[in-house]
Amino acid sequence: MSELRQNAERLVAEGKGILAADESNGTMNKRLEAAGVEPSEENRRALRELLFTTEGAAEHISGVILYDETFHQSTADGTPFPRLLEDQGVVPGIKVDTGAKPLPGSEDEKITEGLDGLRERLAEYYEGGARFAKWRAVITIDEHLPSPYCVHVNAHALARYAALCQEAQIVPIVEPEVLMDGGHTIDRSEEVTGDVLSAVFAELRAQHVQFEGMLLKPNMVLAGYECSEQPDDDEVAERTLRCLRRHVPAAVPGIVFLSGGQSDEDATTRLNVMNQMGPQPWEISFSYGRGLQAAALTTWHGEDEKVPEAQKQYRHRARCTGAARRGEYTEAMERELATA
């Protein structure tokens, strides 16, 4: 258990958080196309190398979640990505679910798959250098959803995954994401997020998962995109922390928020406000994908000569988010990029 606890604590070290670079090939191809970059294996590799070799980023990044393809790729000079990260003091991680699929018996809900063969895959990933993993459950929300059935089967799968990870000495990041899509209010978001967290931790207990050796990756409590009444940052932070205090055991070392489609600045600001609200039972950190990468990708545009500028964008976002991890982020930090 000591290895699991130590690695969980490394991932939520002061001033640091996690880069989620675990997009599937399909998702990454869509992002490349949107940025005007040809979707190809080489460009997916080149983007990840751009991020992982950014000088100074490791001061703010504790771990990186990789996709299976990326886990087996290397830099242009032949250094495997997991080794490159570990040499910088960054913990390599791996996404192990195989995606959300339609839930049988429900027209609008999903179940995340990937448990078949997971024990064997985890052993191979550990041998390759992975020390933590991630599994994402997708929870659709409206006036009637999610159904208790959807919440139960996803909570059960998350706990089964987490138990297998700990057996393999890999820290599980448990990610039950209540989506922002729709017109639901922040009241409804808080209610559903609480119900989902309650179910998840009940299953984790039932399957003997040790809370000290795991991390939680939840959504912030937000109103839906289409809701006419959008809360301010203070309300988001207050409601999110209240919900977590009611449902997340203090034994969990840290909570690493997903950005969930928020803008870079919103995700950073709200993390900052939470960290300014005093000490909590767990470390409050981040596990952002688009919230760290988006500006770098659009700046890079697939052109070698633009790599330094793209790395400057990524380093800036990592620095800002690392500051928010300490509750020290300011709007002035955003303006510093233009003068750097």
Query: Which residue segment(s) compose the domain that 208 sits in?
Result: 2-339
pLDDT tens-digit map of 212-235: 999 999 999 999 999 999 999 999
pLDDT bucket at 340, cuts 50 / 70 / 90: low
The residue annotated as part of the active site, out of 95, 110, 134, 217, is 217
The residue annotated as part of the active site, out of 109, 175, 177, 190, is 175
For residues 204 and 159, what is the distance between their CA atoms, to the nearest angstrom?
Answer: 5
Residue 125 scores a pLDDT above 90: yes
Average pLDDT, the chain: 96
Going by DSSP bridges, is the β-strand pair 110-112/100-102 parallel, antiparallel, or unpaired?
A: antiparallel
Q: Is 175 a catalytic residue?
A: yes
138 to 16, 186, 192: CA distances (angstroms): 26, 18, 13
Instruction: Please answer whether residues 295 and 317 qualify as being in contact, where contact means their C-beta atoms are separated by less than 8 angstroms.
Output: yes
Going by DSSP bridges, is the β-strand pair 17-21/100-102 parallel, antiparallel, or unpaired?
A: unpaired
Q: What is the greatest pairwise CA distance in the chain?
A: 55
What pLDDT, on a 0 to 100 scale, did the predictor assign at position 264?
85
**Strand partners of residue 18:** 63, 287
What pLDDT, on a 0 to 100 scale, did the predictor assign at position 107?
84
Range 198-229 burial, b when 16+ CB lie within 10 A, else e: ebbbebbeebebbbebbbbbbbbbbbbeebee
For residue 146, whether the previous peptide bond is cis, meaning omega lies within 30 degrees of 0, is yes
Contacts of 69 (CB under 8 A, 6+ apart): 25, 41, 44
What pLDDT, on a 0 to 100 scale, did the predictor assign at position 338?
53
Q: pTM here?
A: 0.96
CATH number, domain with residue 61: 3.20.20.70
Q: Which amino acid makes up residue 249?
A: P
Q: What angle do CA 146, 172, 84 make, to 5 degrees?
A: 125
For residues 276 and 265, what is the distance between their CA atoms, to the nearest angstrom?
Answer: 16
133 to 125, 178, 246, 285: CA distances (angstroms): 9, 20, 25, 16
Q: How many domains does the chain have?
A: 1
Contacts of 121 (CB under 8 A, 6+ apart): 96
What pLDDT, on a 0 to 100 scale, did the predictor assign at position 337?
63
pLDDT tens-digit map of 286-338: 999 988 999 999 999 999 999 999 999 999 999 999 999 999 999 899 887 65
For residues 158 and 204, what is the distance between their CA atoms, to the nearest angstrom?
Answer: 8
What pLDDT, on a 0 to 100 scale, did the predictor assign at position 25?
96
For residues 283 and 275, what is the distance between their CA atoms, to the nearest angstrom?
Answer: 9
How distant is the alpha carbon of residue 171 from its chain centre?
A: 14
Tokens of 12: 């939520």
pLDDT bucket at 339, cuts 50 / 70 / 90: low
